Amino acid sequence: MTSVTLTKGVESLESIIGAGLVRQGSAVLLGSVFLAAMSQITVPFFPVPMTLQTLAVMLIGLTLGFRLATLTVATYLVEGAIGLPVFAGFASGPAVFIGGTAGYLAGFLAAAAAMGFLVDRGAAKSWLGRIATLAVGEALIFGLGIAYLTYLYGFSKALEYGLYPFVAADLLKMLIAALLGTGILQGVSRYSSNRAG
């Protein structure tokens, strides 16, 4: 039976990426490209589309650790702000940051930072720990997203537009992120051990 407890080995990919600026910069850039690609897999709802962005953010937070996860999502946001078509539906530009998805974009950054922080402190070594870490990220994404939608439309509409359509899908994304994150970290752990051996 495969273990789902990471009591030994790497806690995040940062430990194997190393401290080199080029390697860390490459990891951040590749992470932002991954997030941009996942943003284009959408189901068009108004005013917030359903995308695989949250799955990407969960994987980034769960595997990269605080510093690289935060830098990755921040890079993605900067790319969109300066005009690169990285947001859902290939949107870009400053106007996105005052539209209906603005709170969720802020939530992505907060979630990546919080999940990475917890990962760095060993909170995600167990299956339960990973689920709890992902739940913190989800709470931040939806909390900030709904808060901004409440400002735009009122609380009841914010829940109608920004929470109810996404609950089931995001619970599934959490499970997928936990499974994929576990596989990634266990694979890197084995690779690191083999190299050291």
Domain residues for 180?
14-185
Helix (H) or strand (E) holding 110: helix 102-120
Tokens of 64: 């990269």
Low-confidence ranges of the chain (pLDDT < 50): 1-9
**Whole-number pLDDT of residue 193:** 65
Question: Cα 191 vs. chain centroid, distance in angstroms?
Answer: 24
CA atoms of 14 and 25, how far apart (whole Å): 11
For residue 139, the domain's CATH number is 1.10.1760.20
138 part of a folded domain = yes
Residue 31 contacts residue 13 (beta carbons within 8 Å):
no
Instruction: Give the C-alpha separation, 104 to 6, whole Å.
Output: 30
Tell me the C-alpha distance between 196 and 191, whole Å.
9
Using CA atoms, how far apart are residues 105 and 110, in angstroms rounded to an integer?
Answer: 9
Which tokens belong to 149? 């939608």
In a domain, 58, yes or no: yes
Q: Give me the pLDDT at residue 56, please.
A: 97
6 is a domain residue: no
Residue 171 belongs to some domain of the structure: yes
Inside any domain, residue 85: yes
> What's the start-to-end Cα distance of the chain, in Å?
24
State residue 2's pLDDT score: 41
Integer Cα distance of 40 and 192 in angstroms: 33
Query: Which candidate, 5, 27, 37, places its Cα nearest to that of 185?
Result: 5
Q: Which residue is associated with the tokens 């990285």?
A: 86
The one-letter amino acid code at 133 reads T
What is the reported pLDDT for 10? Answer: 52
Domain assignment of residue 150, yes or no: yes
Is residue 7 included in any domain, yes or no? Answer: no
What's the structural domain count of the chain?
Answer: 1
- Determine, yes or no, domain membership for 92: yes
